[in-house]
């Protein structure tokens, strides 16, 4: 598969970028994508939720009334879960939601997401660029020139670029990542994927 290469002014350079068919033209495995996204979201969870159970609620442990003969239901102390202010039964406890996936499955999911984006024409290839200093306005102009300013954008760079990152940091619908950090969730969560030429070379080898 080939895509036109644009410059930051949105002009076609007349050159073509070659997309590796083993990355951008495979049979999409939806279950692999599901598992990878599920793992990503699970890994984001802090797992610090906690509620007090019967033994942890502050209150007297005195038995409220005798077990039998009172005409009412049996009851223990005031911390009983059936009373207002009592402990919670089987409440949430701190836990780790992370789970493991094989590297090959995660790679398959990532390639499936890239293939899906390529099929939907949501990938744009641009020449490598940088800024002399962080300029948000310049980055906004680039998104307008590439006609993606109204979309949620993922910019993929070959390596760390501080000025480009700082230029895009304050734009709500834009995320900047390096090619080695591209993940399935980030690809699916954005409607426009901007790949620089050098980042495409890295992704073609993933």
User: For residue 186, what pLDDT is reported?
Assistant: 96
Report yes or no on 81 lying in a domain: no
pLDDT attached to residue 165: 96
The pLDDT of residue 205 is 87
Contact, 176 vs 155, CB < 8 A? yes
pLDDT band at 170 (very low <50, low <70, confident <90, very high): very high
Above pLDDT 90, what percent of the chain?
97
Find the mean pLDDT for residues 114-137.
Answer: 95
Residue 73 CB contacts under 8 Å (≥ 6 apart), including other chains? none
Mean pLDDT across the stretch 91-95?
A: 96
Q: Is 6 helix (H, G, I), strand (E, B) or coil?
A: strand
**Given strand 123-126, what is the order of strands in its sheet?**
12-18, 2-6, 123-126, 192-196, 153-157, 174-178
Asked whether residue 125 is assigned to any structural domain, the reply reads: yes
State the Cα–Cα distance between residues 60 and 194, nearest whole angstrom. 63
Any idea what DSSP says for residue 172?
T
- What is the rounded CA–CA span in Å between residue 25 and residue 116? 8
**206 has pLDDT over 90:** no
Is 63 part of any domain?
A: no
pLDDT (tens digit, 9 = 90+) per residue, 11-67? 999 999 999 999 999 999 999 999 999 999 999 999 999 999 999 999 999 999 999
Q: What is the CATH number of the domain that holds 159?
A: 3.40.1370.10
Residue 191 lies in a domain: yes
Query: Residue 53, exposed/middle/buried by CB under 10 A (0-12, 13-18, 19+)?
Result: middle
What mean pLDDT is predicted for residues 112-119?
A: 96
Let me know if residue 34 belongs to a domain.
no
The CA angle 174-177-181, to the nearest 5 degrees, is: 145
Per the domain annotation, does 83 fall within a domain? no
* Number of domains forming the structure of the chain: 1
Mean pLDDT of 117-146: 95
Domain that holds residue 21: 2-28+106-203
Considering the entire predicted model, what is its pTM?
0.85
* C-beta of residue 32 within 8 angstroms of C-beta of residue 108: yes
Q: Rounded mean pLDDT of the chain?
A: 95
């Amino acid at each position: 598969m080939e895509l036109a290469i644009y410059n930051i002014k949105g002009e076609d350079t007349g050159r073509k970028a070659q997309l590796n068919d083993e990355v951008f033209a495979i049979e999409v495995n939806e279950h692999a994508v599901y598992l990878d996204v599920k793992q990503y979201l699970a890994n984001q969870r802090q797992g610090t939720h906690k509620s007090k159970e019967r033994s942890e609620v502050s209150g007297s442990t005195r038995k409220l009334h005798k077990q039998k003969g009172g005409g009412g239901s049996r009851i223990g102390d005031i911390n009983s879960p059936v009373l207002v202010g009592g402990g919670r039964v089987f409440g949430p406890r701190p836990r780790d939601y992370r789970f493991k996936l094989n590297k090959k499955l995660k790679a398959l999911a990532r390639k499936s997401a890239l293939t899906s984006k390529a099929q939907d024409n949501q990938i744009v290839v641009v020449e490598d660029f940088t800024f002399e200093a962080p300029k948000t306005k310049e980055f906004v102009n680039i998104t307008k020139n590439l006609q993606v300013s109204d979309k949620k954008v993922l910019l993929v760079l070959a390596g760390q670029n501080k000025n480009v990152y700082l230029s895009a940091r304050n734009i709500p619908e834009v995320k900047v990542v390096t090619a080695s950090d591209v993940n399935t969730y980030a690809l699916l969560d954005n409607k426009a994927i901007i790949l620089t030429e050098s980042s495409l070379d890295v992704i073609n080898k993933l």
